[in-house]
Amino acid sequence: MRNRSIIRNRQWPILVALVVFFAVQYDFRAEQNADESTPSLTELEVPNADQKKQLRSLIQQIAGIEQTIGTMYDDLKVLGEVKDEKTVLYLAAEYMGDAGNQDRRFFINDRITIFWKDGQPSRFELFRRQAKVRGIYIIRKTMTAESMVEAARAESLSVPVQILVDETLESGLGVQTQFRLPGPNQDNLEDSSELVETTTGSNKRVAIVYLRRVEDRMDVLRKYLQFLRDSENRIRFIIKNKLREDSMRYQRTKTLE
C-alpha cells in the first residue's frame, strides 16, 4: 500500500505538467485562430484598438505639419517660391544603400509639390526617384494626397492616398502600378486598371491595387509623415538662410561708426 501511495504521489506532478502543457497549447491555438480572420479582397482589414489609436495619431501628426506649413505661405511668397499657387521644393539628392556594394547602392532624388488654396495647402505631391548606381533599375514613385486637416478633426481612420510607382526593370521593360488607400465609405475595392498620368506626364493604363492590410496602410502614412517633416524642415532652412544672408549683407556693407 505504501508503495502504491508513493507511485501516486510521483504521478501527480506529471499529470499537473501535462494538464498545464495542453492548456497552454489550447490557449495558443485559440489566440492564433482569433487573429486569423477571414481574408477578403472586397473589404478593408479592420484595425484593432491599438491600430486605431496609431492611425488617428498618424493622421493628427500629418494634419499638424500641414497647418505649420500653411503658416509659412507668406514667407514662401516673399521668397518667390509660390508660382501659380504651387510650390516645388527639392528635398534631397543623395546616395543610399551599401557603400561597399555598388549592386545594392542607389541614388535618391526627393521633391515635393505643394498645391495652395486660399493660403493653405490643399494637396501634396511627393516624388522620389531611386536609381541603381550599377545597372538600369529605376523606381519613380509619386505619392499624392489631399489635405488631412478635416480628416483629423473628424477623427477619421481612412484617408485617400495614391502612390504611383513607375519601374524600369533591368530588362529595360517598364511596369506601372498605382497603390491606393481608399477613403472613408468607399465601397468599391476591386483591383482594376485605369488611365492615369504617369511620372513622365503621359497617360497610360496602369494596374490599380488597393492596400487592404492595416499594416500596409500605416506604413504608407508613416512614410508620408516623414516626407512632410522633411518638407517642413526644408522650408524652415530656406527662411533662416534668407535671414542669415540679409544679415551678412548688412554686416558687410555697414559703415564704420
Average pLDDT over residues 132-151: 90
State how far the Cα of 238 lies from the Cα of 10, in Å rounded to an integer.
79
Among 34-38, 172-176, 177-181, the range of highest mean pLDDT? 177-181
Identify the weakest region by mean pLDDT among 43-47, 151-155, 162-166, 228-232. Answer: 43-47
pLDDT in tens, 6-22: 445 555 555 444 444 44
What integer pLDDT is reported at residue 34 of this predicted model?
Answer: 39
Give yes or no for a contact between 147 and 69, defined as CB atoms under 8 angstroms apart. Answer: no
State how far the Cα of 257 lies from the Cα of 176, in Å rounded to an integer.
66
pLDDT of residue 75 exceeding 80: yes
3-state secondary structure of 83: strand
3-state secondary structure of 179: strand
Q: Residue 30's pLDDT band (boundaries 50, 70, 90)?
A: very low
pLDDT of residue 252 exceeding 70: yes
Q: For the residues of 224-246, what is the DSSP string, one character each?
A: HHHHHHHHHHHHHHHHHHHHHHH
pLDDT of residue 55 exceeding 60: yes
What integer pLDDT is reported at residue 158 of this predicted model?
Answer: 85
pLDDT of residue 246 exceeding 70: yes
pLDDT of residue 69 exceeding 80: yes
Domains of the chain, by residue range, sit at 1-36, 49-253
Q: Residue 164's pLDDT band (boundaries 50, 70, 90)?
A: very high
Q: What is the mean pLDDT of the chain?
A: 83
Average pLDDT over residues 199-205: 77
What integer pLDDT is reported at residue 216 of this predicted model?
Answer: 94
What integer pLDDT is reported at residue 33 of this predicted model?
Answer: 40
pLDDT in tens, 78-96: 999 999 999 999 988 888 8
pLDDT of residue 177 exceeding 50: yes
Q: For the residues of 127-166, what is the DSSP string, one character each?
A: EEEEEESSSS-EEEEEEEEE--HHHHHTT-S---EEEEEE
Percent of the residues in the chain that have a pLDDT greater than 70, as a whole number:
83
pLDDT of residue 198 exceeding 60: yes
